[in-house]
Amino acid sequence: MENKEKQYMEETQSHLVHTYNPFPIVVKKGEGVYLYDEEGNKYLDFTSGYAVSSLGYGNKELNKKLKAQIDNILHTSNLFYHTAQKEAAERLLKLCGMDRLFFTNSGGEAVEGALKAARKYGFEKKSGRYEFIAMKESFHGRSFGALSVTGHDAYRTPFEPLLAGVKFAAFNDLDSVRALVNEKTLAIIFEPVQGEGGVYPAKEEFVKGIRKLCDENDILMICDEVQCGMGRTGNYFAWQGYKARPDILTMAKAIGNGIPVGAFALTEKVAKYSLSPGDHGSTYGGGPLACTAVSAVAKIFEKKNLPDHVKEISVYLEEKLDKLKEECPFVTGRRGVGLLQAVKITKQVKETTMRALGEGLLVIGAGDDAIRLIPPLVIEKEHVDEMIEKLKKALEA
């Protein structure tokens, strides 16, 4: 962190542990796809809080349901099954195409649970399999298990030693995965679209090849869809686009639209040999408020047919980005799928996001060479046009 930024953080946020590098604005209000700071400046939000606020801000239908739940029950722990959890589980399982799920409070926790579910499967089957194959440049979260399968040295090194039995293959390189498989391999974990790693979609032959490799060797395929899941790729979950169902699926972010909630889901094949009472738990996981959010969000997604909207609007977004590449010498490429896109730039990424902020546009980096575009899924063409205009100005400033 640069000295100027350090000083700013000390002056404005001296009460916090400084693990973040936030924009120098204080947000006060959100409405639709816009955020407003305390000075009244308006920002078009193409971050959606790291792919969380898929419905944008202030969705009335969702908020009405949340308010009603607040007036009813806020917490029961898992001492009792409750109607909100039953409805949320049924709705989510229908959309994600899995058989059983466990609610968590975050994406990282969903990954932790997924790893544990896999280990328990190996234990119950007495297979002698316990190793994970993960991908280089992947991101799965900050807790120890999730960090152990994250393929970025910068995130990992200060916290080593991490979980034993993890090997890293090159993403989108099936031979590199195959070369690591042995009789101890328990599971292969990957993001169908690497998000934090720079927005790289998995190739179809890679995903299908992993599925086949797993089927042939009784290895579990774990898809982490915490960032790319629930509508963002134009399918409810990205795996559906590959027609290669994982054995374990993680999700979070979009499923709660801002209420902290995540889940890991299992196929019946895994569930039969996996976690049983006493193996895993969470005091808050699957709480009534979070589950009400999940049900309401899922219902709105279905009513608006958001995945189809994403399919349509992303065609327009891609066309506009490709045109920007032709017109603007600082843009050299585009990558991504649906509303998880990145534009490769020759200018410095941090400097560009700061200039965009000055133009009233919120965007973040994708790796160290690109700008990531992860807007609310409800954006319309006019928002794409506005973003292009502002990004162009930011790049040409």
Ligand X SMILES: Cc1ncc(COP(=O)(O)O)c(C=O)c1O
In the list 34, 46, 103, 139, the residue contacting ligand X (rule: CB under 6 A) is: 139
Kindly indicate which of the ranges 37-45, 82-90, 179-187, 191-199 contains the residues binding ligand X, using the contact rule CB under 6 A.
191-199
Minimum CB separation from ligand X for residue 313, in Å? Answer: 22
In the list 54, 85, 185, 227, the residue contacting ligand X (rule: CB under 6 A) is: 227
Which residue's CB is nearer to ligand X, number 53 or number 106?
106
DSSP per position, 27-83 = EEEEEBTEEEETT--EEEESSHHHHT-TT-B--HHHHHHHHHHHTS-S--GGGS--H
Kindly indicate which of the ranges 23-31, 82-90, 100-108, 213-221 contains the residues binding ligand X, using the contact rule CB under 6 A.
100-108
Minimum CB separation from ligand X for residue 287, in Å? Answer: 16
Token pair recorded at residue 199: 């927005």
Residue 265 contacts residue 98 (beta carbons within 8 Å): yes
Angle between helices 288-304 and 60-70 in degrees, nearest 10? 160
Instruction: Please tell me whether residue 226 binds ligand X under the rule CB under 6 A.
Output: yes
Kindly indicate which of the ranges 125-133, 190-198, 281-289, 356-364 contains the residues binding ligand X, using the contact rule CB under 6 A.
190-198
Residue 88 contacts residue 101 (beta carbons within 8 Å): no
Q: Which of 261, 257, 304, 301 is nearest to 53 (CA)?
A: 257
The beta strands (E) that lie in the chain are given as 27-31, 34-37, 42-45, 100-104, 131-135, 166-169, 185-190, 193-194, 200-201, 220-224, 248-251, 262-266, 331-337, 340-345, 361-362, 364-366, 370-373
In the list 55, 252, 306, 343, the residue contacting ligand X (rule: CB under 6 A) is: 252
Instruction: Please tell me whether residue 107 binds ligand X under the rule CB under 6 A.
Output: yes
Spatial distance between the Cα atoms of 75 and 83, rounded to a whole number of angstroms: 12
Token pair recorded at residue 377: 């899924």
Residue labelled with tokens 């998000």: 195
Which residue's CB is nearer to ligand X, number 261 or number 384?
261
Kindly indicate which of the ranges 105-113, 231-239, 325-333, 380-388 contains the residues binding ligand X, using the contact rule CB under 6 A.
105-113
x/- letters, 9..48, toward ligand X (CB under 6 A): ----------------------------------------
Instruction: Please tell me whether residue 191 binds ligand X under the rule CB under 6 A.
Output: yes
In the list 45, 46, 95, 108, the residue contacting ligand X (rule: CB under 6 A) is: 108
Q: Give the footprint of ligand X on this chain (CB under 6 A).
A: 50, 106-108, 111, 139-141, 191, 195-196, 224, 226-227, 252
